[in-house]
Amino acid sequence: MGAFGGASVYQVYIKSFSDGHGSGIGDILGIIHKLDYLKFLGITHLWITPFYVSPEIDNGYDVTDYTSINPKYGTMEDFDLLIQEARKRGIGVILDMVFNHTSTQHPWFQKALSGDTYYQQYYFFRKGKQPGVPPTNWSSKFGGSAWKYVPALDKWYLHLFSEGQADLNWDNQDVRKAIQSVLSFWEQKQVAGFRFDVINLVSKPELFTDDQNGDGRSCYTDGPHIHEYIRELVETCGLKNYLTVGEMSSTHLKDCISYASLTGNELSMVFSFQHLKVDYADGDKWRIQKFQPSELFSIIDMWQRGMQEGNAWNTLFWSNHDQPRVVSRFGDEGEYWKQSAKSLAAMMYLLRGTPFIYQGEELGMTNAHFSTLSSYRDIESIKAYDILTSQGNTAKNALEVLSQRSRDNSRTPMQWDSTPHAGFSTGNPWIAINPNHAWINAEGEKKDPDSILWWYKRLLLLRAQSATIQYGTYKRLDPTNPSVFLYQRIGKEDTFTIICNCTKNYATFQLPSPLKGNVILANYLNPQKTGLLRPYECLVVREKKGAHHATLS
Ligand code: TEU
Domains of the chain: 107-166 (3.90.400.10), 466-552 (2.60.40.1180)
Confidence of residue 258 (pLDDT cuts 50, 70, 90): very high
pLDDT value at residue 112: 98
Which ligand 1 atom is nearest residue 250's CA?
A: 4
Find out whether 150 and 156 touch, Cβ atoms under 8 Å. Answer: yes
Confidence of residue 330 (pLDDT cuts 50, 70, 90): very high
**How far apart are alpha carbons 165 and 151 in whole angstroms?**
18
Find out whether 140 and 160 touch, Cβ atoms under 8 Å. Answer: yes
Query: Which contacts of 483-491 are long-range, i.e. CB under 8 A and separated by 24 or more positions?
Result: 483/293, 483/294, 483/507, 484/508, 484/509, 484/533, 485/293, 485/296, 485/297, 485/300, 485/347, 486/511, 487/301, 487/304, 487/351, 489/350, 489/351, 489/352, 491/466, 491/467
Q: Is the CB of 197 under 6 A from ligand 1?
A: yes
pLDDT value at residue 547: 73
Confidence of residue 551 (pLDDT cuts 50, 70, 90): low
Q: Is the CB of 139 under 6 A from ligand 1?
A: no
For residue 322, how far is its CA from the centre of ligand 1 (angstroms)?
6
Q: Is the CB of 380 under 6 A from ligand 1?
A: yes
Note the pTM of the prediction, 2 decimals. Answer: 0.97
**How far apart are alpha carbons 533 and 522 in whole angstroms?**
11
pLDDT value at residue 1: 55
Residues labelled catalytic: 197, 247
For residue 265, how far is its CA from the centre of ligand 1 (angstroms)?
25
**How far apart are alpha carbons 297 and 310 in whole angstroms?**
20
DSSP state letters, 160-181? SS-TTEEEB-TTSHHHHHHHHH
Confidence of residue 513 (pLDDT cuts 50, 70, 90): confident
Has residue 552 got a pLDDT over 90?
A: no
Which ligand 1 atom is nearest residue 58's CA?
A: 19
Has residue 2 got a pLDDT over 60?
A: no
Confidence of residue 553 (pLDDT cuts 50, 70, 90): very low
For residue 245, how far is its CA from the centre of ligand 1 (angstroms)?
15
**How far apart are alpha carbons 111 and 49 in whole angstroms?**
27
For residue 86, how far is its CA from the centre of ligand 1 (angstroms)?
27
Q: Is the CB of 58 under 6 A from ligand 1?
A: yes
pLDDT digits (tens, 9 = 90+) for 289-316: 999 999 999 999 999 999 999 999 999 9
**How far apart are alpha carbons 323 and 267 in whole angstroms?**
23
- Per DSSP bridges, beta strands 125-126 and 147-150 are unpaired
